[in-house]
Amino acid sequence: MMTSMLLSSLLIATAPATTPNPLRLDIEIDPIAYALDGFSLHVGMGNGRYRLDLGAFGLQLPEAIHGQEDFQSSFAGYGAKFDVFLNDDGWGPFMGVEGGFTTMTIVDTLSSQSAEDRALSGGVRAGWRIQLPADFYVTPWVGVGYRFSEDHEIAGRTYENNPITVFPTIHLGHRF
């Protein structure tokens, strides 16, 4: 009995120590949102292969994107993303889920009348986090989601909301 206790103690004492993955914090922006008269700020927490992102964002949607002639459309909102990386260090390829709440403002440019559309959204995303010097990084990604919204009648004309969204973008960030 004493021998087995000594042997067990020796095995435990010489076993490699397992160090938990440290908590990682990061901050990032979407420069495309700023180019489209908007904003973007995201704060992330990661541990091992997992990352949670909380963010706020908004931009003007070009007519080429929303496809509605004589309408202007912009949105602002906030959301969360949960990603799983292929690598334990939080670099490289990842896939995740995202959800958010947005307020879209739609303006009929012929009458200057407007409407607001508030909606929840959810979807999936995939991308690649590329490490740069000094703990900076770039993350190209694409999301495919569903926005629970309705069409809007403004000044006798209909703005048709497309509930399916495909959102390719790039984020620039810094890990602390």
User: Over the stretch 12-44, which tens digit does the pLDDT of each residue have?
Assistant: 444 445 556 789 999 999 999 999 999 999 999
pLDDT confidence bin for 117, thresholds 50/70/90? very high
* pLDDT value, residue 20: 62
- How much helix, strand and coil, in percent to the nearest 5, is found in the chain? 15, 60, 25
pLDDT tens digit sequence for 78-88:
999 999 999 99
Domains of the chain: 22-175 (2.40.160.20)
* pLDDT value, residue 18: 53
171 exposure class (CB count in 10 Å sphere: 0-12, 13-18, 19+): buried
Predicted TM-score (pTM) of this structure? 0.82
From the list 118, 98, 99, the residue with the least C-alpha distance to 161 is: 118
User: Taking residues 5-9, what's their average pLDDT?
Assistant: 45
Residue with tokens 């690649």: 128
pLDDT confidence bin for 65, thresholds 50/70/90? confident
* pLDDT value, residue 19: 57
Name the phi and psi angles at 69, rounded to 5: -65, 140
User: Taking residues 135-155, what's their average pLDDT?
Assistant: 95
Average model confidence (pLDDT) across the chain: 90
* pLDDT value, residue 13: 47
